[in-house]
Amino acid sequence: EPEVTQTPSHQVTQMGQEVILRCVPISNHLYFYWYRQILGQKVEFLVSFYNNEISEKSEIFDDQFSVERPDGSNFTLKIRSTKLEDSAMYFCASSQGDEQFFGPGTRLTVL
Amino acid sequence: GQNIDQPTEMTATEGAIVQINCTYQTSGFNGLFWYQQHAGEAPTFLSYNVLDGLEEKGRFSSFLSRSKGYSYLLLKELQMKDSASYLCAFPGDSNYQLIWGAGTKLIIKP
């Protein structure tokens, strides 16, 4: 069964450093998403991506965040200058329609 | 505005039935989702209701009342592996994002 994959599973970085989180969505899906979940809190929408451009973004998705689909398979989230409060699980998801399929997540820890 | 309310935590006994409620407020309705999330893992899809009524899928059923802004997830024949958080969510205004509830942590006791 096709699934969304994410790498790395864990990432530890120093405050102020750049990180790139990688996702491979399900191959025939057209819509891609990034969500984050701070430990013990609710899942929060960051950004959605369709037809090679951002379709919607939340208030959280400020100038330090960017997304890219560099080739036909990968979908990346870049955080330019990490802050302590960026520590969270970051989930990638993809969909063809209504149901969104989630990847296993990347746990980002900013020290 | 848009809002979702769910109980924070519920406890039930193995083999029993439990109902997890969700109330929501949204200006435009595009369906309601239930996801299961085990600790430290990604949410996994359980159900999607667009029309009023009960939809059954094995041990899990989901109910929706659009006029009341209310949904519930019904879990039957509870198993220990059902211990997880159950998240209620609906698409945002643009339909490109999901708005999530805080989740209900379900604890199953033997």
Q: Of all helices (H) and strands (E), which one includes residue B106?
A: strand B104-109
Closest CB to B100: pick one of A42, A55, A98.
A42
Listed in order, strand segments (DSSP E) in chain A are 5-7, 10-13, 19-24, 31-37, 44-50, 53-57, 65-68, 75-79, 88-95, 100-102, 106-110
Q: Report the percent of chain B where pLDDT is more than 70.
A: 98
Rounded to a whole number, what is the distance in Å from the CA of B47 to chain A's nearest CA?
Answer: 9
The whole-number mean pLDDT for each consecutive block of 10 residues of chain B, a chain of 110 residues, reads 91 97 88 94 93 94 95 97 96 80 96
Q: If contacts are CB pairs under 8 Å, which of residues 8-47 in chain B contact chain A?
A: 31, 33, 40-45
- Residue in B96, B99, B104, B105 to test binding to A, most A beta-carbons within 10 Å: B96
C-alpha to C-alpha distance for A83 and A67, rounded to whole angstroms = 18
- Cβ of B43 within 8 Å of Cβ of A56? The answer is no
pLDDT digits (tens, 9 = 90+) for A35-71: 999 998 999 999 999 988 999 999 999 999 999 998 8
- Cβ of B42 within 8 Å of Cβ of A43? The answer is no
Listed in order, strand segments (DSSP E) in B6-103 are 9-13, 18-25, 32-37, 44-49, 53-57, 60-65, 70-75, 84-91, 98-100
Assess A10–B contact: CB distance below 8 Å, yes or no.
Answer: no
Note whether B94 and A57 are within 8 A (CB).
no
- Cβ of A41 within 8 Å of Cβ of B102? The answer is yes
pLDDT digits (tens, 9 = 90+) for B13-24: 999 999 999 999
Q: What is the DSSP letter of B55?
A: E
> What integer pLDDT is reported at residue B82 of this predicted model?
97
Q: Which residue of B has its CA nearest to A34?
A: B97
User: Which chain B positions have a beta carbon within 8 Å of A98's beta carbon?
Assistant: 31, 33, 48, 91
> What integer pLDDT is reported at residue B65 of this predicted model?
95
The overall average pLDDT reported for chain A is: 94
Note whether A24 and A4 are within 8 A (CB).
yes
> What integer pLDDT is reported at residue A6 of this predicted model?
97
> From the CB of residue B79, how many other CB atoms can be counted at a distance below 10 Å?
11
Residues listed for chain B: 110
User: Which chain A positions have a beta carbon within 8 Å of B51's beta carbon?
Assistant: none
Residue with tokens 């406890």: B11
> Residue B10's closest CA among B2, A23, B18?
B18
